Structure 1
Amino acid sequence: MYHFLVKTQAFLIVSTVILQVVSTTPLAAEQPQRPNIIVIMADDLGYGDVSCNGATELKTPHIDQLAAEGMRFTSGYCSASTCTPTRYSFLTGTYAFRGKRTGIAPPNSPAIIKPGTETIASILRRGGYATAVIGKWHLGLGGDEGPDWNGDLKPGPLEIGFDTCFLLPTTNDRVPQVYVHDHRVPNLDPADPLWVGTKKPSPDHPTGITHRDTLKMDWSHGHNSTIHNGISRIGFYTGGHAARFRDEDLADKWVEKSNEFIAKNKDNPFFLFFSSHDIHVPRIPHERFQGKTKLGFRGDAIVEFDWCVGELMKTLKEHDLDEKTLVVLCSDNGPVLDDGYQDDAIEKNGKHRAGGPFSGGKYSVYEGGTRTPFITRWKGHINPGVSDEVVCTIDLAASLGALAGQTIPEDACLDSFNVLDALLGKPYAGGRGHLVQQDNGASGTYGLRVGNWKLHRSDRKRARNVNVEAELANTPVPQYQLFQLDKDPQETNNVAEKYPEVAQRLQKQLAKIIADGRTRKP
């Protein structure tokens, strides 16, 4: 009897301990969830190019629905007003002006982000995510000697955290017009090798200058070298004919490959960087979108991009992933109308204001160059609304890393802040307190936003694209200008002399940010 009582007492003690542990341990449903993540990055899409931000001359219903079901940011930014530096900063979490060769990459650029660099992809893969980039790359491929177009194209995305990629290797106004799947150009015929160079390969090589009368889209400046699909480009290439694509099919291909990736990984967490080429030049949307707007091919390309967003959302629903996926929509920089081709973007623009209420656009540090559409949507987790918190694509590395439960190494993502609560629309969540904006590479042209103050620093004392609709470029400006964004969103009234103490403080703050080499605290 004694032994029975002892065993019974021991059982009750153990049971009590177990019950106490269970009662104090959060249920599995209460554990932080790891959603799938899709970052949809448009190319050259301005703040005012979508109807949820006020566009009236065209409609973007799928983007509007994304905004209606999520958080639309009125102060959402990319970090640079050109594509290569923004993409570098988005992936690495570090301002591009700190890196080397981070300006607009030429066709034969070697890989700009070196193997071993921590990126948003490597962080999420470490957290158990399958990772893919599909669409425009424009961050170089290959070692220091540049890409081997007929061999293994590495290093590239797979060496910095992506499991797979299907790419437009450069940008479509630059050669070559071929895809890259993982490390190879698909469908390449060894008997017709691909050559890419900076000089005309032969005297009779057709170009946009020598064969201008054959072009289906004429150039306005620059883009007048090798002709493909009736359009001349930057740079020269020959061969690879079986591997070449048609401009009109790019958007369909990105959706097709993205759907394949989502279907393959629907049962496990995945990260997809959907890197659209729309609405970058040459703007050649698929025939079914041509003429859908009164704004010409630029407007039609916006509608095509909106369709891509809708197709991705439809795929998520088909796989019951609609409430299990965080979607972030953004752009790599602000708008430009004439960017080298005569596609009637200016002539048919009418009342449309691509930059919305802001001045500037692509290539400038005025707000229109870096303040873009920015939307987060995670159904059931983000309460729909509008936020004026300052968030930036450079913050996605630290923020999404935190969502995946990952710690960022001290020497990585040097300027990426964890603004996850702001991205998820949490009450009283703050965005970033300051943001540096740049134009291209390390040109010495910066913008620094701190609250409603905005400092411009232009070491060349020239400003580009002050008015994107009128395409004013290289306007003389003082080295430093100060603006009050809440009172002067178009940055037309320089108040540096009126508020000299603010101007001096921001000048010192910007200089320190540049000199310190980082802004994220280790």
Structure 2
Amino acid sequence: MKKTYVLCPLLLLTVTGRAQVSEATREKPNVVFIYADDIGYGDLSCNGSRTIHTPNVERLAESGIRFTNVHAAAATSTPSRYAMLTGEYAWRRQGTGIADGDAGLIIRPERYTMADMFKDAGYDTGVVGKWHLGLGDKQGTQDWNQVITPGVRDLGFDYSFIMAATGDRVPCVFVHNDMVENLDLSDPIQVSYKHNFPGEPTGKDNPELLRMHPSHGHNQSIINGISRIGYMKGGKKALWKDEKIAETLTEKAVGFLESHQDRPFFLYFATQDAHVPRVPDARFVGKSGMGPRGDCLLQFDWSVGQILDALKRLGLDKNTIVILSSDNGPVVDDGYKDEAVELLGNHKPSGIYRGGKYSLFEAGTRVPCVLSWKGRIKQGQVSDALLCQIDWMASLAEVIGVRLPESAAPDSEAHWEAWTGKEKEGRNALVVQNAQNNLALLMGKWKYLRPGRGEAYIRSVNIETGNSSDAQLYDLEKDPSETMNLAEKEVGVKARMEELLEEIVDGRYGLPLY
């Protein structure tokens, strides 16, 4: 049973028991999150890239505020999404690493989520796109041929149209309101992450069937001529078409806006772009000059434009907060031979920052971020405030008039004044994590990387992880590219940050470790 607390009554009940929206609720702003996948700080032209043009993101930035120092809570997908939706650092919970396609629900139904928060404020809630937070009760126990429970509806979302995990993991189907879309029960779906099904081809054994070949991993079941992670059999009518993923998800997101224009709504729109496998629609193929990855950046920008155009057409643009960001930093070769490396040219997905997806260095978590609320916040702002996606929950709770339960969002901080540009400073301190769950502390101009285990370099993706048995300390004001380790020179700073990080981890600072 979820514990909820609402500041004031937001819904009125008729004699039939149907909820009616009060005038106070109707005036609350709609909220739309546009959450990119693997798009880096340097991948968007609003952040200064001259090798790619993303005009719709630029349009959004010009109408609001662009951030230069916003971070995802983690350098990989599952933990960053967990932290964003729960307001809790993912490293506080076991089982929040990169999820398989058959993972059980990582956010448990009893957990108070951002969607619950919006529902408590009288909002309709929806999620469209990449989920990657598990479904069902336990790993590998889902029956994909019936309603999947527990599902996203148990986490506060009234409507859902999602990819169960990622584009490169089975099952390669859309799940609509906790049921596989277009399922033919005469061709039941079977999924395994342990063994293949008899007679089913794989990328490893049947490369002649592939239209896109893996560069590392990704050599198991073949779907649409592309081999994936994991094994799948059946569900032929339900399989998505990779070229149409962006179009399908965008249409569903726009459809949600259209069907909820008379009530306040929260929409979490999580795109597949630019995660692998990158298979853009024919409209974008070859348009970037950087191969499928660049084309998918243009496709993402198109999706943004469709959302902005729909809000304007429906007369919702002046009462809707739109937030755009990415789940982690960029990666160029992430498992498929799609010429992303060969055609990269002068494009720098990470901008001036070191590392990328999986990394504890800045490019792992410093991500693009734009917030717009027409008529309510000053247009064309740029903010250097230190902020994190984990803070959206507490910050928006203040805007929509919900007091969070005592146990909810333990690491989320309310910084709405900073999110709107009225204050120049954001967080005092922020903890981020990489793929190996090693931690770093950001505070002011300083960044401290705690010693941790794991390889220093992932050769398959050509990314430095930031892992080291030695402490690292960087002055991001003078050295944003993290080239000079000052741990031995600035011993006092290192000691203070080391102590503060340990206080945050063990609960002496902030809230307790569960």
TM over 0.5: yes
Q: How far does the alpha carbon of each residue in 1:115-145 deviate from its partner, in whole angstroms, 9 at most, with x for none?
A: 1211111001100110000000000000125
Q: Deviations over 1:408-431 (max 9, x none)?
A: 1111101001111111222x3531
Deviations 1:98-126 (A, max 9, x none): 11210000111000000121111100110
User: Is it true that 1:135 corresponds to 2:129 in the alignment?
Assistant: yes
Question: What pairs with 1:219-230 in structure 2 (closer than 5 Å)?
Answer: 219-230=214-225
- Deviation at 1:477? 2.9
Deviations 1:124-182 (A, max 9, x none): 11001100000000000001254221122121211011111000011011001101011
Q: CA deviation at 1:492?
A: 1.3
Match of 1:287 in 2: 282
CA distance in 1, matches of 2:202, 2:191: 14
In the TM superposition, residue 459 of structure 1 has moved relative to its aligned partner by 1.5
Distance 2:351 2:424 in 1: 26
CA 1:32 to 1:320, structure 2 compared with 1: closer, same or farther past 3 Å?
A: closer
**Structure 2: gaps (5+ residues):** 1-21
CA distance change for structure 1 residues 191 and 456 in 2, over 3 Å: closer, same or farther?
Answer: same
Structure showing greater Rg: 1
- 2:410 maps to 1:410: no
Which residue number corresponds to residue 92 of structure 1?
A: 86
Q: Which amino acid aligns with 1:95?
A: Y
**Aligned counterparts, 1:149-188, within 5 A:** 149-188=144-183
User: Which residue of 1 is the match for residue 393 of structure 2?
Assistant: 397
Change (3 A) 1:67 1:504: same
The residue aligned with 1:75 is 69
**What amino acid does structure 2 have at the position aligned with 1:280?**
H
Q: 2:491 aligns with which of 488, 496, 500?
A: 500
Q: Is the 8 A contact 2:26 2:264 kept in 1?
A: no
Q: How do 1:96-245 and structure 2 match up within 5 A? A: 96-144=90-138, 146-245=141-240
Partner of 1:512: 503
> CA–CA distance in 2 between the matches of 1:272 and 1:294?
33
Contact residue 290 and residue 300 of structure 1 kept, 8 A: yes
Equivalent position amino acid for 2:204 in 1: I
Q: Which deviates the most, 201-210 or 212-221? A: 201-210
Q: Pick closer, same or farther for the CA change 1:433–1:473 going to 2, 3 Å.
A: closer
Q: 1:48 aligns with which of 42, 50, 68?
A: 42
Amino acid at match of 2:264: P
- Structure 1 pair 142/202, CA: closer, same or farther in 2 (3 Å)? closer
Q: 2:474 is matched with which residue: 463, 483, 495? A: 483
Q: Which string of whole-angstrom CA distances, capped at 9 and with x for unpartnered residues, describes residues 37-73 of structure 1?
A: 0000000000000001111111000001111111000
Q: 2:324–2:371: 8 Å Cα contact kept in structure 1?
A: yes
Distance in 1, Cα, partners of 2:454 & 2:288: 38
- The reply to whether residue 367 of structure 1 matches residue 362 of structure 2 is yes
Query: In the aligned structure 1, how far is the partner of 2:199 from the partner of 2:403?
Result: 57
Kept in 1, the 8 Å contact 2:361–2:466? The answer is no
Query: Secondary structure, in 3 states, of the residue corresponding to 1:301?
Result: helix
| Alignment-derived partner of residue 247 in structure 2 | 252
d(CA) in 1 for partners of 2:247 and 2:315?
22
Q: 1:149 to 1:458 in 2, by over 3 A?
A: farther
Q: Whole-Å Cα distance in 1 between the matches of residues 398 and 151 of structure 2?
A: 25
Cα separation, partners in 2 of 1:377 and 1:465, compared to 1, 3 Å? farther
Distance 1:518 1:407 in 2: 22
Does the Cα contact within 8 Å between 2:449 and 2:471 map onto a contact in 1?
Answer: yes
| In the alignment, structure 1 residue 328 sits paired with structure 2 residue 348 | no
Q: Is the 8 A contact 1:158 1:182 kept in 2?
A: yes
What is the DSSP-based 3-state SS (H/G/I as helix, E as strand, rest coil) of the residue aligned with 1:323? helix
Sequence identity (%): 44
Partner SS, residue 180 of structure 2: coil
**1:211 Cα shift?**
1.3
Aligned equivalents of 1:30, 1:227: Cα separation in 2: 52
Per-residue CA deviations over 1:361-388 (Å, capped at 9, x if unaligned) read 0000100000010000011111121000
Task: Look up the match of 1:8.
Answer: none
Question: Normalization by structure 1: what TM-score?
Answer: 0.90
Q: Bigger CA drift: 370-379 or 151-160?
A: 151-160
Identify if the C-alpha distance between structure 1 residues 376 and 472 changes in structure 2 by more than 3 Å, giving closer, same or farther: closer
Answer with 358-367 or 200-209: which moved more. Answer: 200-209
> Which residue type is aligned with residue 85 of structure 2?
L
Cross-structure match for 1:424: 420
Q: Structure 1 residue 463: deviation in Å?
A: 2.9
SS in 1 for 2:450: strand
| CA distance in 2: counterparts of 1:288 and 1:300, whole angstroms | 9
Cα offset for 1:198?
1.8
Q: Root-mean-square deviation (CA), in Å?
A: 2.1
- The alpha-carbon deviation at position 480 of structure 1 amounts to 1.2
**What TM-score does the superposition give when structure 2 sets the normalisation length?**
0.92
Kindly provide the CA deviation profile for residues 425-469 of structure 1, in whole angstroms up to 9, marking residues without a partner as x.
22x3531111111013xx441111000000011320643469x9x
Is the 2:355–2:465 contact (alpha carbons within 8 Å) kept by the matching residues of 1? no
CA distance in 2, matches of 1:29, 1:219: 55
Output the CA distance in 2 between the equivalents of 1:444 and 1:280.
21
Tell me, yes or no, if the aligned pair for 1:100 and 1:112 is still in contact at 8 Å. Answer: no
Q: Which residue of 1 aligns with 2:443?
A: 450
Q: AA paired with 2:456?
A: A
